[in-house]
Amino acid sequence: MDEFSYRDGTLWCEQTELREVAEKFGTPTYVYSAATLVDHYVRFAKAFESINPLICFSAKALSNVHLLRLLAGQGAGIDTVSGGELHRALVAGVDPERIVLAGVGKSVDELRAAVRHDIRCINVESEAEVELLARVAREEDRRPRLAIRVNPDIAPDMRTPARTTTAIRGAKFGVDIERAAALFRAASTDEFLRAEGFHVHIGSPIFDPGVYATALDRILALTAGLEADGHSVTTLNVGGGFPAEYTEGSAPGWDDFAEAICPRLQGFVDRGGQVVFEPGRTIAANAGILLATVRYRKRAGDRELVVIDAGMTHIVRAAMYDSYHFMWPVTPVNGTVPRSRDQQSIDDLVDYDVVGPICESSDYLAKGRALPAMVSGDLIAIFSAGAYGMTMTSNYNSQLRPAEVLVRGGRADLIRRRETYDDLVALELLDGLTPPL
């Protein structure tokens, strides 16, 4: 699953003791396991090797340039959804031929950057965007490649949060499937555009492989109709949305998804087509944890609370999605280590509400969570934080964004320093001038 484990009563990442990481870099700090990140990417690619996809890791899940570079070294491309993420991918040294750009509201500048760098594909999401892309292409005298994002009107299973469901009718993403063929034909007639295929992303996380099968059946029918009319469709982007195990055994394996997806796409690949995937959380979630420190223990009515130095500005998923993150002290009392990450059938645990320092009632990381007794100064690890952890941090309450550390075996390297108070106001003190009174 990952390279985080308890040994001799304390938590390690690979061959690095996490107490030492906290002592050296402070808390809150994101810690990533290089071995886990690489292993998950390699095993994901292995599951789908029969259709030889271009695997573009989703930068919105985890965007540190050092980690993008690490994955690119394994052959990964990068899926971007903004000009900023495109810039990160380029800074990380990713070949533009392995970068795709999506996003429902791309600006002129974002499209222009994608066109100038001749990235692998721009996933367009409306008729108006195709028109704007064509204008930019003419101005730049370039011929960018594009795929049309299709909304196949498919509801995922009940475990996919409504806030991350993207492919039901009326959603802001993509083009209704009944309009997609006409838009593809129109884009194909523009001498400054190369219309290559279709993009579909259903939502995240998707736990039922059958949902992908249904979506692909609809996209392949769309493709077959265009090919019958003489159009060439050479790219099918299946998107991402593959789940991660936030509790053990809670998600199907990559082979289960490959079994539903690969047979449907084999004929397309055999005809010379390119399949693209955009996995994010499924690779990154369990490659990272958030280290935090207990500041206070307090009682509120009949509730026992521990107040830690990480809150919704440092990891927003619990407050935003009511998501579950396993957590446990780094060095628990009497070496009490968990038997699994979804059940703590251990004696002498305390039911805690784990809360952060943010001035918001929603700033809870867990409620009624059974944990070993903790006191001020104890370290706690929040697991499965590698995806949508650091990328969703903010400066709300003028909190400082945390540091990021990458562990390789017995070595821990700082890959993003912790923000300072000077960083908070740097963009407001223009030209070094003091604010007006």
d(CA 149, CA 215): 12
d(CA 97, CA 350): 53
Q: Which amino acid is at 152?
A: P
d(CA 74, CA 65): 14
Per the annotation, binding residues for substrate are 281, 317, 321, 360, 388
- Please report the DSSP string for 280-319 in residue order: -HHHHGGGEEEEEEEEEEEEETTEEEEEES--TTT--HHH
Q: What is the pLDDT of residue 344?
A: 52
Question: Of the residues 13, 56, 262, 359, which is catalytic?
Answer: 359
**CB of 218 within 8 A of CB of 236?**
no
Helix/strand/coil for 266: helix
d(CA 233, CA 143): 17
Under-70 pLDDT residues of the chain: 1, 156-171, 204, 339-347, 432-437
359 is catalytic: yes
Q: What is the pLDDT of residue 172?
A: 79
Q: What is the pLDDT of residue 339?
A: 67
d(CA 213, CA 215): 5
Q: How many CB atoms lie within 10 A of CB 213?
A: 15
Which one-letter DSSP state was computed for residue 94? -
Q: What is the pLDDT of residue 345?
A: 53
Q: What is the pLDDT of residue 169?
A: 65
Q: Which domains does the chain have, with CATH numbers?
A: 4-31+286-425 (2.40.37.10), 34-284 (3.20.20.10)
What residue ranges in 301-402 does DSSP mark as E strands? 303-308, 327-329, 350-355, 364-371, 379-382
Per the annotation, binding residues for pyridoxal 5'-phosphate are 241, 278-281, 388
Q: What is the pLDDT of residue 167?
A: 57
Per the annotation, binding residues are 241, 278-281, 317, 321, 360, 388
Q: What is the pLDDT of residues 1-58, one digit of tens each?
A: 699 999 999 999 999 999 999 999 999 999 999 999 999 999 999 999 999 999 999 9
